[in-house]
C-alpha cells in the first residue's frame, strides 16, 4: 500500500552515481522552476546493478538490476518519481509504474575516450566496452584491437583508463556532456558506424499509477517520446536486453519517423542493419514492423541470402 507524503513535497528516487544524481537534479530543477512552492528532494540508493561489478550484465540479470530498488521505493511510497537513463530501463515496465515523460534528447552518439595525454590508441592495450552491441560494431572499425569488458560508474571507468588499463573507452556522449567532460571525447562515432542503444541520450521519468503529476506538465519532449517509443518497440519485439546486442535509433523528420535497427543472429554471430520510414504517429508499429521484417529475413528464410539491409 502506498504511503502518503506531504502535499507540497516531491521525492525523486535516483541511483547514487554522480551522473544519475545530476540527471535527477535536472528533473528536480525543472519542477522547482515551474512550481516554486513545491519542496523537491532526491533520495539516492545503490541498486543491485551498481553493486555487482565483477560480471557483465547479461551474466547477472540484465537491465532490471538497475531499477529494482527504485521500483520498490516507488511502490512503497518512499518516492513519487524515479529518474532513469532510458537506455538502462528494461523493455517491460510494471503496469503500476508507468513512464510519464521523456526528456529532450542529448547527443545520442557513442564516443571514443583516450587516456589523459594520449593522442592515439595504444594497440597493445584493449578497448574498454560495457556492451555486446558496441563490441560487435567495434570489430568493423578496429578489427585489430582487443575489447575487454569494463563495469562501474563513469568516474570509475575513467580512472581505470587513466591508470593505463585500457587503450580507450567507448562511452555514451550524453553522460560525458552532462557531467561537463566533453573535452575528454577524442572521436564521435556516427550512427552508421555504431548504432546507439535504444533510448540513448534520453531521460525517463517514471511514476506511480495512483499519483497525480500536474507539476510535470510541459516536461515531456514529443520528439524524444516518439523516437524512444519506436526504439523500445523494436527491441521489445526481438526480446533484446543486456544479453542481446539489439539496437535502434529513431529521428523525427517533420511528420515522419526514420528508424534504424540492428538485428543480431545468434546462430552465426552476424549482425544486420536496416531501416524503415513512416508516420511519426505510428511509432510503436514502425518499431515492431522493422523488427519483424528483419527477423523474418535473417532468421526464417531457408537460404542465407540477404535481401534488405546492410550485412556486416
**Residues annotated as catalytic (active site), given as ranges:** 88
Q: What would you measure as the largest C-alpha separation in the chain, in angstroms?
A: 65
Distance of alpha carbon 247 from alpha carbon 241, whole angstroms: 9
Amino acid at each position: 500500500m502506498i504511503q502518503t507524503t506531504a502535499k507540497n513535497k516531491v521525492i525523486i528516487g535516483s541511483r547514487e552515481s554522480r551522473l544519475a544524481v545530476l540527471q535527477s537534479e535536472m528533473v528536480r530543477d525543472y519542477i522547482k522552476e515551474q512550481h516554486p512552492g513545491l519542496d523537491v528532494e532526491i533520495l539516492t540508493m545503490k541498486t543491485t546493478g551498481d553493486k555487482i561489478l565483477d560480471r557483465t550484465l547479461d551474466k547477472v540479470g540484465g537491465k532490471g538490476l538497475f531499477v529494482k530498488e527504485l521500483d520498490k521505493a516507488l511502490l512503497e511510497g518512499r518516492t513519487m518519481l524515479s529518474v532513469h537513463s532510458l537506455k538502462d530501463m528494461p523493455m517491460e515496465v510494471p503496469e503500476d509504474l508507468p513512464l510519464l515523460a521523456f526528456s529532450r534528447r542529448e547527443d545520442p552518439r557513442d564516443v571514443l575516450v583516450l587516456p589523459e595525454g594520449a593522442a592515439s590508441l595504444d594497440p597493445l592495450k584493449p578497448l574498454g566496452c560495457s556492451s555486446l552491441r558496441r563490441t560487435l560494431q567495434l570489430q568493423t572499425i578496429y578489427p585489430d584491437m582487443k575489447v575487454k569488458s569494463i563495469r562501474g560508474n563513469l568516474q570509475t571507468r575513467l580512472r581505470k583508463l587513466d591508470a593505463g588499463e585500457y587503450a580507450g573507452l567507448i562511452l555514451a556522449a550524453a553522460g560525458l556532456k552532462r557531467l561537463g567532460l566533453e573535452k575528454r571525447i577524442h572521436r564521435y562515432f556516427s550512427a552508421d558506424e555504431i548504432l546507439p542503444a535504444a533510448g540513448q541520450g534520453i531521460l525517463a521519468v517514471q511514476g506511480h499509477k495512483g499519483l497525480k503529476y500536474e507539476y510535470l506538465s510541459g516536461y515531456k519532449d514529443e520528439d524524444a517520446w516518439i523516437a524512444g517509443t519506436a526504439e523500445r518497440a523494436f527491441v521489445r519485439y526481438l526480446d533484446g536486453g543486456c544479453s542481446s546486442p539489439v539496437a535502434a535509433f529513431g529521428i523525427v523528420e517533420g511528420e515522419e519517423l526514420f528508424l534504424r535497427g540492428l538485428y543480431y543472429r545468434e546462430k552465426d554471430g552476424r549482425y544486420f542493419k536496416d531501416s524503415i520510414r513512416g508516420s511519426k504517429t505510428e511509432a510503436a508499429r514502425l518499431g515492431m514492423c522493422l523488427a519483424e521484417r528483419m527477423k523474418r529475413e535473417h532468421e526464417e528464410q531457408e537460404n542465407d541470402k540477404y535481401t534488405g539491409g546492410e550485412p556486416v
